[in-house]
Amino acid sequence: MGKITTEEQPLRAAILTVSNSRTFSNDTNGLAIQSYLTNRGHQVVDYAIVKDDKDEILRYVHEWVCSVDVIIISGGTGLAKRDVTIEAIEPLYDKTIPGFDEMIRLLAYREDCGVQSIAYRSSAGIIHQALVFCLPGATRIIKIGLEKIILPALFHLYMEMKK
């Protein structure tokens, strides 16, 4: 995973962790996402943690979609009743990136997550002028999503969105 090439530009990013148990002192997933982005030369301009609550999730996303290029949300995507990230975000999409969810699940399956990967829900799309990625809160799925899909495709997706 190298730095951004000369034809790419640093993107402004925001990170949202959705969890009823994470705090800034124990949110290893949020810090990992921040590290992945900054190691690629992108600028993380905001980072927040919210409970599994649609209104809280939407408050941050509505604030960020006009001021950042990419939003990465982790957590709240499972099958439990409290998991509402996907349900909060998908109605906001101007356009979806449907292959993202399929690729996450396939790569998770191949990376020894096995059939339990069928329960991993993720989502990606464009809201206003921002690329939005919703990842499960599982650390190894975040790593797969960032290393194998989001970071390699991020600038291409950004340029396509700007056309």
Amino acid at 73: I
Within a domain: 5: no
Say how far apart CA 144 and CA 137 lie, in whole Å: 12
Say how far apart CA 103 and CA 100 lie, in whole Å: 5
Say how far apart CA 20 and CA 58 lie, in whole Å: 16
Predicted confidence at residue 134, as pLDDT, reads 98
Q: How many domains does the chain have?
A: 1
Say how far apart CA 72 and CA 122 lie, in whole Å: 11
Residue whose C-alpha is closest to residue 46's, from 5, 20, 33, 55: 33
CATH number, domain of 65, equals: 3.40.980.10
Within a domain: 80: yes
Predicted confidence at residue 5, as pLDDT, reads 47
Within a domain: 96: yes
Within a domain: 76: yes
Model-level pTM? 0.94
Predicted confidence at residue 3, as pLDDT, reads 52
Predicted confidence at residue 6, as pLDDT, reads 42
Range of the domain at 132: 12-162
For 150, the 3-state DSSP assignment is helix
Within a domain: 7: no
Low-confidence ranges of the chain (pLDDT < 70): 1-7
The tokens describing 90, both together, are 């998908």
